[in-house]
Structure 1
Amino acid sequence: MSLNRGGEAAMLDLIIIGAGPYGISLAAHAGAKGLNYKLLGRPMHFWKSQMPQSMFIRTHPDSIQLSDERGEYTLQRFEEETGTAVTVPLPRPVFVDYAFWFASRTGVVFTPELAVRLDSAAGGYVVETDCGTVLRARSAIVATGLQHYAYIPDALAGLPSGLVSHTYGRSDYAPFAGKRVAVLGSGQSAWEAAALLHRAGADTELIYRREAPNYREAVTSGKELVQAAYTFYELPEEQKREKRVPPPGSIAHFLRPYVDGLVRETGGVSIEAAEASPDGALSLLLSNGERRTADHLVAATGYRIDVDRVPFLSPALSARIGREDGERDAGGERFPKLGASFESSLPGLYFAGPLASFSHGGAFRFIAGLHKTCQAIIGHICLHPV
């Protein structure tokens, strides 16, 4: 426990919850401004341990830089200083190595403990961690990723995890060798899962609603998303509503040779019903009337953001956070209402990353929103101390 001489938790300027790209970049900016902070979370845990490391990032390396105050610690500088090849597409392990190099070069200090409760307190906020540490700060930033929001369609809900799982957290497909596995989805994560299952020796079938795959024949530049991060908030509400509708998912061209002609595909269908068979297999009814039997189904069905599913927000604190009025336009997702500086209705409480994507646009579901987030939040904290 961090205590002062009086026996109470010492007051920090800032607590950042989440040690992925957003949290690391926010800590770099906070340190550069001389703020006394704690960065909570397992460093780069999702990128390092919850994603297959043998695959690539589909966005061009120019658009996935972490953010420091002067823009000095880029992937290009990482390449020059370490001799690591920065290729297109970029392997995930290289990005993870870059993030740790960036943290070292910017002086970011990790506190690898998990927040289990965030609540308001006199003068700011208090966080309890899984190690029993109690921290107090004038401001707090929730910078967690997608881990709380994996979406499973209703037709598959309630089935045991031995039969159905989400792509989130699935980093190893070797246990499916020799098994019959269906993959549901029409985007990047579905094709990636199918490719890795095939390589692992699974009898794999892709099932998707599209009539045909939507391959993008070049690595996504990401520049449009980066630009949108700076303009979305000021748009008229009608334009925001239009832009909140996600464009049809595309598949990186580099996945094509891992799937085409190797994995069975059934397009133009959805799964109408699913149940466990008496023999322990999974029985699927498709919308075209056909049936499938599989040992397992991997749902590459995306995420539905919901602030009420953030497990460490105390019920009392969560009830006081203002919600976006237009949540019904977001497919059942629920978001905190944020101002221009990503501050919630509670002074000193900020949200970064996916939870900011309704107020500030789709760029914040991705790394594209990093620079804008750091400049806005840390700048606001420095100019308007709680």
Structure 2
Amino acid sequence: MTASVRSNDCEVAVVGAGPFGLGVATALRAAGVDVLAFGSPMGFWRENMPRGMRLRSPWRATFIGNPNGPLSLDSYASGQRVQLREPLLRQDFVDYGMWVQAQAIPDLDTRMVSRVERTNAGFRLILADGDAVRAGRVIVAMGLKNQELVPAAFSGLPSELVSHTSAHTGFEAFAGKHVAVVGRGQSACESAVLLRKAGADVELVCRGDIHWLGAPSSRRGRNVLGAAEELLASPSRVGPFPLSWLIEAPGLVHGLPAAALRWVNARGLRAGASGWLLPDFGGIKVKAGRVIVGASASNSGIDLRFENGSTAYDHVLLATGYRIDISKLGLFAPDFLDAIACHDGSPILSAGLESNIPGLHFVGASAVASFGPLMRFTAATPYAARAVTRFIRAARHKGQNARRSTLRLGEASAPAGTKPR
């Protein structure tokens, strides 16, 4: 990690040092843009994901900023002589991200940004230690920080009884405990596996059946279809075939009518779990088709109430995903937040991932509502980096042309023998 090194003015400030923040900052720096990047490198991955977790994304869709070249996962593995295997361990991806940061953004300022304010010349960033930085543009790349979705039935209950998966980096504390995992996606199923390996008695509680991705089927017709889908799968494998190929092109998704874009997001991000988890799923009881109507603390722990009864647990782990709401990022004062055009908490973004506030950009999870499901995965880091860099370079060029035109007008209108000032 790099300690805070400077605080001054910059052309662009990047808030966040995860895959999207590092990818965009690297591309901008390569384009000659004066960039300052802030945040803890790979912070969310290190502090909000459990040890032993593996990435759902395939190797060919796992990278930061560029699938090829000196900062690719392949270059890291060969250059550092590390043995990696697919599916990639969370810790291996964290190590890769830290390596990218050290190579591309060695002057990363690890202080946290606590507030972003508008100024006449752009923006003012207030850092956690009270220092301030002025920037012409700000790129928010904070990922899923503070975006946890907690169902209303669990609001107000203490963390000793109920917690979100993002609150844990390991499950050793649950050894010997009776734990209910709520959800049926990748996070739910993998958390259940890791809990069981840690010695917990695990039950998976979900509304519907688990949708296993890439898992073999007992039905012959389904086997043939599954093999065809595997053969024709898009590089990132986000969403079902053939929709997955549209999802691979965020620029095209961005151009869809609003209703179609919402459908693509709902279909592309529906709950599913990797089939490679199945061999470790033995011993985990699945309560599918159960609707939770309430939860309450009891002498023995926590009671989950269903439509047809209740069950007592020592702890409930919520693998209920995330819901984007930029107000929860804590970056913006209420009046600034009110000025940002949003739909259901997500900023409405232009082709350059810019909000309606000139110079304020959002990348990563905050851009899903405008650019589609790929923005939830590292496979979208190259697109975000290219789109933002292209937009900023075009804005630079436009500004330079405007200044030249102003200068020419001044020269033409100046009296003979004088110089425009």
Q: TM-score, normalised by structure 2?
A: 0.83
Could you tell me which amino acid in structure 1 is paired with residue 319 of structure 2? Answer: A
Q: Does 1:16 align with 2:14?
A: yes
Work out the CA distance in 2 between the residues paired with 1:44 and 1:122. Answer: 32
Q: Quote the residue 1:128 is aligned against.
A: 126
Matched position secondary structure for 1:245 = helix
Conserved? CA contact 1:341–1:380, under 8 Å:
yes
Aligned pairs, number: 369
- Report the CA distance between 1:280 and its aligned residue: 4.9
Deviation at 1:106, TM superposition (A): 2.6
For 2:236 and 2:309, how far apart are their aligned partners in 1?
Answer: 39
Using the TM superposition, give the Cα deviation of residue 2 of structure 1 relative to its aligned residue in structure 2, in angstroms: 8.7
Give CA deviations for 1:300-319 in whole Å, capped at 9, x if unaligned. 00111112222121222212
* C-alpha distance in structure 2 between counterparts of 1:141 and 1:73, whole Å: 21
* Matches of 1:203 and 1:133, distance apart in 2: 48
Q: Deviations over 1:42-63 (max 9, x none)?
A: 1101112321121211110111
The within-5 A match list for 1:213-252 is 213-217=210-214, 221-223=235-237, 224=244, 227-247=248-268, 248-252=270-274
Instruction: Give the alignment of 1:15-94 within 5 angstroms.
Output: 15-68=13-66, 71-94=69-92
Contact 1:29–1:69 (Cα < 8 Å) also in 2: no
Q: Alpha-carbon deviation of 1:259?
A: 1.7
TM-aligned CA deviation for residue 252 of structure 1: 0.9
The separation in 1 between residues aligned to 2:262 and 2:41, in whole angstroms, is 34
Structure 2: distance between partners of 1:243 and 1:366 = 15
Deviations 1:277-318 (A, max 9, x none): 1x151111112x121001110010011111222212122221
- The 2-side partners of 1:73 and 1:2 are apart by 23
Aligned partner of residue 230 in structure 1, secondary structure: helix
Q: Is the 8 A contact 2:145 2:329 kept in 1?
A: no
Deviates more, 1:106-115 or 1:182-191: 106-115
- What SS does the corresponding residue of 1:56 show, helix, strand or coil? coil
Measured in 2, the distance between the counterparts of 1:18 and 1:105 equals 17
Of 335, 339, 361, which aligns to 1:320?
339
Other-structure match for 2:225:
none
* Residues 293, 25 of structure 1: alpha-carbon distance in 2 compared, 3 angstrom cutoff: same
2:303 is aligned with 1:283: yes
Question: SS in structure 2 opposite 1:90?
Answer: coil
TM-score w.r.t. the length of structure 1 is 0.90
What is the match of residue 330 of structure 1? none
Show structure 1 runs of 5+ residues with no match: 4-8, 328-332
Note the alpha carbon deviations across 1:175-196, whole angstroms, 9 max, x for none: 1111111111011111111111
Counterpart code for 1:189: S
SS at 1:158 equivalent:
coil
Cα 1:206–1:242 shift into 2, 3 Å: same
Q: Does 1:259 align with 2:281?
A: yes
Pairwise mapping of residues 134-153 of structure 1 onto structure 2 (< 5 A)?
A: 134-153=132-151
Aligned to 1:310: 329
In structure 2, what is the Cα distance between the partners aligned to 1:345 and 1:375? 20
Structure 2 partner of 1:6: none
Partner SS state of residue 135, structure 2:
strand
RMSD: 2.1
Q: Tell me if the contact between 1:28 and 1:67 (Cα under 8 Å) persists in the aligned partners.
A: yes
Which residue number corresponds to residue 389 of structure 2?
378
- Partner residue in 1 for 2:98: 100
Q: 1: CA distance between counterparts of 2:22 and 2:119?
A: 25
Larger radius of gyration: 2
Distance 1:301 1:69, change over 3 A: closer
Equivalents in 1 of 2:198, 2:98: separation in Å?
Answer: 30
Is 1:29–1:68's contact at 8 Å kept on the other side of the alignment? no
User: 2:64 is paired with a residue of what secondary structure?
Assistant: coil
Note the alpha carbon deviations across 1:201-257, whole angstroms, 9 max, x for none: 1121111111x3221126985153762323211223443232132343111122112
CA distance in 2, matches of 1:251, 1:85: 25
Whole-Å Cα distance in 2 between the matches of residues 10 and 23 of structure 1?
A: 19
Does the Cα contact within 8 Å between 1:147 and 1:168 map onto a contact in 2? no
Q: Which runs of 5+ in 2 are unaligned?
A: 216-229, 238-243, 400-421
